[in-house]
Amino acid sequence: NTFGLIQIGLILLCTTTTSSFQCNHLPLQQRKVIENSLQLLDRMGKKFPQQCLREKKSFRFPEQVLKPRQKESVKIAIEEIFQHIFYIFSKNLTLAAWDGTALQQFQNGLYQQIERLEACVIKKQTHYFRSKEVNRLKLKKYFQKIDCFLKDKQHNLCSWEISRAEMRRCLQLIDKVIRKL
């Protein structure tokens, strides 16, 4: 049993050491995750329903979050966005009636990337720029708005479709930024 523990410990150690090497290549992985996520978002449901157009709301994504000159802040901001999107899509989706497999793959992809970053974040906590907190709070506010919107509409079809379109727009913005990194 101790041998099993040693094995697990070694595997964990190897996993953490390999993931710490991936910190430098986060943009490449993030790009792949975003590409994949966009494809799956499209595959999940059909075209945006016409009847939901009048319910459309402007959430005002804080684009300045993706603009700072420091690459590190942008990378961490992107990881936070993944975490928020992961959270939103874990809610009650029965009324949305989307493709379950595509949704599962979408969530799994985001989760994989979040796990990978955790090692990097722990290492880089000392470099974390507190001055960018204002931007991070704006980001949290943005996702809070979407969450409240979904709750108010009781997670009906239109609220989900509007949220999905909003997330799509958000990921496309990140995609543009990450290609420049």
Partner 1 sequence: GQTNLKSPQDLQVYVVNTNFTLRWNYTGNDTNVTFSAEYRFEDFTTDEMEWKELPGCQNVTHTECDFSSAITEYYDNHHVRIRAERREEVSPWSSIFEMTPYVIAQISPPGIELQSINGVIKIKVSPPEANQVQKMWIDDLSFKYNLVIWENSSNAEFRNQSIFPTDIIDDLAPDTTYCLKVQATYPSDSKEGLFSPIHCVKTTRKAVNVLFCATNVSVLALNMQFHLHWNNQYKQLVSYNVQYLIGYLKKLYDDYSVKWLSVPGCENITDTQCNFSSIITTTSGLFYLRVQAMSEYNKSCLSNEVKVDPLVTNEIGPPGLKVDISDVLLHIQISPPGGSENEVMRDHYDLSYRVLYWKNSSNNEEEIKMKEIKQTIGTISDLAPSTLYCVKVQAFSKAYNKSSHFSKEECVKTPGDKILPLIILATFVTALIAVLLVATPLVFVLYQAYNKIKYVFFPSCQPPLNIEGFGGQFFNSPYLSTTEEAIENCSIIEAIITEVNQIDFKDYKHSKQSSRDSGNYSNDDDTSGSKVSEETLEKEIV
Q: Least Å distance between CB 51 and partner 1?
A: 28
Choose the binding region for partner 1 from 51-59, 64-72, 86-94, 159-167 (rule: CB under 8 A).
Answer: 86-94
Could you give the CA distance from residue 75 to residue 142 in angstroms, rounded to a whole number? 18
Could you give the CA distance from residue 157 to residue 119 in angstroms, rounded to a whole number? 37
Q: How many residues does the chain have?
A: 181
Complete DSSP assignment for the chain: -HHHHHHHHHHHHHHHHHHHHGGGGHHHHHHHHHHHHHHHHHHHS-SPPGGGGGG-------GGGG--S-HHHHHHHHHHHHHHHHHHTTS--TTT---HHHHHHHHHHHHHHHHHHHHHHHHGGGG--GGGHHHHHHHHHHHHHHHHHHHHTTT-HHHHHHHHHHHHHHHHHHHHHHHH-
> Per-residue string for binding with partner 1, 13-52, x by CB under 8 A?
--x--xx-xx--x--xx--xx--x----------------
Closest to partner 1 by CB, 96 or 103: 103
Q: Which of 30, 84, 96, 164 binds partner 1 (CB under 8 A)?
A: 84
* Site for partner 1 contains 172 (CB under 8 A): no
Identify residues 88-147 at the interface with partner 1 (CB under 8 A). 90, 104-105, 107-113, 115-116, 118, 121-122, 125, 128, 133, 137-138, 140-141, 143-144, 147
Closest to partner 1 by CB, 51 or 92: 92
Could you give the CA distance from residue 38 to residue 63 in angstroms, rounded to a whole number? 19
Q: Least Å distance between CB 9 and partner 1?
A: 10
- Give the footprint of partner 1 on this chain (CB under 8 A): 1-2, 4-5, 7-8, 11, 15, 18-19, 21-22, 25, 28-29, 32-33, 36, 76, 79-80, 83-84, 86-87, 90, 104-105, 107-113, 115-116, 118, 121-122, 125, 128, 133, 137-138, 140-141, 143-144, 147
